[in-house]
């Protein structure tokens, strides 16, 4: 009898250097970036696995991985009577693999010797930097029913997004017949697919790979060890070369999914959580997002008008107004401050009154946001100290720049982790 818990191993790719998410990735890996005020990006694929009854999970890490390793170690503990685990496989140099991971396929290849110590029939390969809620059990079942060698989760996209993804075409039985990585706009017309009436009406007429794969065990071993032993990437090499020799099937997903690839998409994904019915639903008890449990007090809000705002635990908010914003754990905002369209990641600790007084004597602002500030269109990373009367007004009028204290990308001001902005500072 088939059991998804006993038959599937999940591999979460910890991502590369994450340069497009700089400066959020200056001191942490992309999957460790805080999202929605209290989670980390890596919590999303791990939670989707757990909700799909897949509890044997490897997370492959390489760049800036210390905080990610710590988060996983402190978060995911299964019962002593369970076979479940979330294990970290850090890039390592060995006699037969002297180099670091060279790409997605190479990372999985180098870790096969650790993964192979388990009993499994299928390998589910996931990205560590996407926001979505998906039932992997349904995808595994579809893979088995079709007798597929490889299944690729696909999502319909429009003209604007298509050149950023691997685009494919499938026949009436959902078997993939052709695949192209990041096609140029002038050839998109050749890659139109029947994505269904609803998607067609939205202009989403191309099938894009989500970077979510199911491999039958023997097929993955053969591809990575023998047939394409030098290939480094799934999307660019393994998938296009496999469709002629293996049964590669498309599993179309029509729900909400976004690739957190750059500052703009990260910013938009977080602010979307403030909608009355957000596309990514944190309040669905059947799709719980798990994270590290923190023994924090409830948030305290005084004299503040809140409009479409998500507030994490431990926040101390005395602002005059906060709208369309996400306030992370231990966020502190002083009196008279206005915050509009911002993601404040919060803080890793509270200051004592004695520490505040000692810092004030040195001219150092309190941790958090000061009094009478105006902050709009900004991401404030963890543990920042923003003084009184500071004005940050992000928007398209600002040019892209990288300052020692902040970065501007696409009109969004990103205040760097631990930055100190003195009283009266203006961006």
What is the CA 318 to chain-centroid distance, rounded? 31
Where is mean pLDDT largest: 219-228, 234-243, 398-407? 398-407
pLDDT of residue 249: 96
Element (H, E) at 131: strand 130-132
Confidence of residue 98 (pLDDT cuts 50, 70, 90): low
Largest CA distance in the chain: 72
Specify which residues 206 forms β-bridges with.
157
Q: Which fold is adopted by the domain 294-421?
A: UDP N-Acetylglucosamine Acyltransferase; domain 1 (2.160.10)
Confidence of residue 7 (pLDDT cuts 50, 70, 90): very high
Question: Quick count: other Cβ atoms within 10 Å of Cβ 5?
Answer: 14
pLDDT digits (tens, 9 = 90+) for 324-355: 999 999 999 999 999 999 999 999 999 999 99
Tokens of residue 167, six digits: 């685009």
Confidence of residue 216 (pLDDT cuts 50, 70, 90): very high
Q: Where are the domains of the chain?
A: 4-272, 294-421
First to last CA, the chain: 62
pLDDT digits (tens, 9 = 90+) for 114-163: 898 999 999 999 998 899 999 999 999 999 999 999 999 999 999 988 99
Confidence of residue 66 (pLDDT cuts 50, 70, 90): confident
Q: With 80 as the cut, is the pLDDT of residue 90 above it? A: no
Q: What's the mean per-residue pLDDT of the chain?
A: 92
pLDDT of residue 97: 62
Q: What is d(CA 26, CA 14) in angstroms, rounded to the nearest whole number?
A: 15
Q: With 80 as the cut, is the pLDDT of residue 100 above it? A: no
Q: With 70 as the cut, is the pLDDT of residue 93 above it? A: no
Confidence of residue 44 (pLDDT cuts 50, 70, 90): very high
375 or 233: which leads in pLDDT = 375
Q: With 80 as the cut, is the pLDDT of residue 427 above it? A: yes
Strand bridging mode 257-259 / 368-369: unpaired
pLDDT of residue 376: 98
Q: What is d(CA 411, CA 379) in angstroms, rounded to the nearest whole number?
A: 11
Classify domain 4-272 by CATH architecture.
Alpha-Beta Complex (3.90)
């Amino acid at each position: 009898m088939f059991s998804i818990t006993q038959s599937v191993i999940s591999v979460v790719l910890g991502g590369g250097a994450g340069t497009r998410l700089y400066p959020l990735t200056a001191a942490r890996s992309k999957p460790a970036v805080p999202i929605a005020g209290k989670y980390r990006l890596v919590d999303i694929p791990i939670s989707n696995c757990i909700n799909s009854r897949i509890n044997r999970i490897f997370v492959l890490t390489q760049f800036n991985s210390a905080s990610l390793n710590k988060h996983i170690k402190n978060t995911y503990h299964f019962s002593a009577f369970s076979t479940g685990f979330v294990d970290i496989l850090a890039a390592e140099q060995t006699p037969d693999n002297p180099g670091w991971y060279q790409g997605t396929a190479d990372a999985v290849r180098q870790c096969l010797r650790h993964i192979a110590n388990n009993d499994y029939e299928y390998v589910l390969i996931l990205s560590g930097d996407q926001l979505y809620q998906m039932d992997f059990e349904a995808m595994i079942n579809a893979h088995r029913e079709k007798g597929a060698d490889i299944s690729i989760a696909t999502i319909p996209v429009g003209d604007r997004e298509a050149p950023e993804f691997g685009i494919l075409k499938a026949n009436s039985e959902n078997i993939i017949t052709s695949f192209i990585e990041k096609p140029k706009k002038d050839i998109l017309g050749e890659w139109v697919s029947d994505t269904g009436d609803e998607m067609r009406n939205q202009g989403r007429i191309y099938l894009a790979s989500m970077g979510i794969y199911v491999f039958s065990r023997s097929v993955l071993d053969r591809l990575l060890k023998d047939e394409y032993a030098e290939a480094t990437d799934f999307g660019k090499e393994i998938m296009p070369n496999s469709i002629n020799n293996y049964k590669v099937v498309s599993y179309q997903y029509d729900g909400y999914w976004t690739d957190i690839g750059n500052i703009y998409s990260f910013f938009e994904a977080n602010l979307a959580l403030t909608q009355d019915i957000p596309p990514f639903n944190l309040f669905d008890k059947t799709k719980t997002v798990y994270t590290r449990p923190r023994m924090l007090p409830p948030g305290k809000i005084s004299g503040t008008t809140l409009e479409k705002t998500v507030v994490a635990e431990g926040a101390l908010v005395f602002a005059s107004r906060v709208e369309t914003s996400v306030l992370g754990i231990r966020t502190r905002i002083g009196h008279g401050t206005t915050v509009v369209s911002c993601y404040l990641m919060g803080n890793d600790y509270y200051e004592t009154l004695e520490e505040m007084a000692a810092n004030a004597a040195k001219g150092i602002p309190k941790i958090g946001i000061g009094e009478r500030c105006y902050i709009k269109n900004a991401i404030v990373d963890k543990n920042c100290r923003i003084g009184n009367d500071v004005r940050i007004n992000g928007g398209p009028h600002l040019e892209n720049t990288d300052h020692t204290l902040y970065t501007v990308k696409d009109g969004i001001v990103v205040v760097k982790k631990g930055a100190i902005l003195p009283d009266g500072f203006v961006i």
